Amino acid sequence: MIITGGNRGIGLAAAELLAARGLKVVLVARRREQGEAAVARLGAGAELVVGDLADRARTAALADVLGERFPDIRALVHNAGIWPSRRELNADGFEQAFFTNHLAPFLLDHLLEERLKASGSAVVRVSAGLYVKGKVDPERTPTGADFHPIRTYADTKLANLLMLPLLAERWKDAGVTVNALHPGVIRTGLGDRRGPVGLLLKAIKRTWQPPEAGGRPVARLVTDPPAASGAYFDVDKETPLEPVALDTALAERLWADASAALDVS
pLDDT tens digits, 6-48? 998 999 999 999 999 999 999 999 999 999 999 999 988 899 9
In a domain, 134, yes or no: yes
% of the chain residues with pLDDT over 90: 82
CB 32 within 8 A of CB 48: yes
pLDDT digits (tens, 9 = 90+) for 247-259: 999 999 999 999 9
In a domain, 23, yes or no: yes
Q: Report the CATH number that the domain containing residue 7 is assigned in CATH.
A: 3.40.50.720
Q: What is the mean pLDDT of residues 97-105?
A: 98
Neighbours of 47 (CB within 10 A): 15
In a domain, 26, yes or no: yes
Which of 99, 131, 147, 153 is the catalytic position? 153
Predicted model pTM = 0.92
Q: What pLDDT was estimated at residue 206?
A: 59
Give the total number of structural domains in the chain: 1
In a domain, 52, yes or no: yes
CB 28 within 8 A of CB 3: yes
SS3 95: strand
In a domain, 59, yes or no: yes
In a domain, 8, yes or no: yes
Backbone dihedral angles phi then psi of residue 189, each to the nearest 5 degrees: -85, 0
Nearest CA among 227, 182, 216 for reference residue 18:
216
- pLDDT band per the 50, 70, 90 thresholds, residue 105: very high
pLDDT beyond 70 at 152: yes
- pLDDT band per the 50, 70, 90 thresholds, residue 197: very low
In a domain, 264, yes or no: no
pLDDT digits (tens, 9 = 90+) for 198-240: 554 455 555 567 778 889 999 999 999 887 899 999 999 999 9
Per the prediction, the chain carries an average pLDDT of 92
Neighbours of 157 (CB within 10 A): 28
In a domain, 265, yes or no: no
Q: Which domain holds residue 249?
A: 2-259
- Pairwise CA distance, residues 8 & 4, whole Å: 10
Nearest CA among 50, 21, 20, 19 for reference residue 36:
50
Backbone dihedral angles phi then psi of residue 238, each to the nearest 5 degrees: -65, 130
Q: What pLDDT was estimated at residue 202?
A: 53
Annotated active-site residue 232? The verdict is: no
Q: What pLDDT was estimated at residue 192?
A: 57
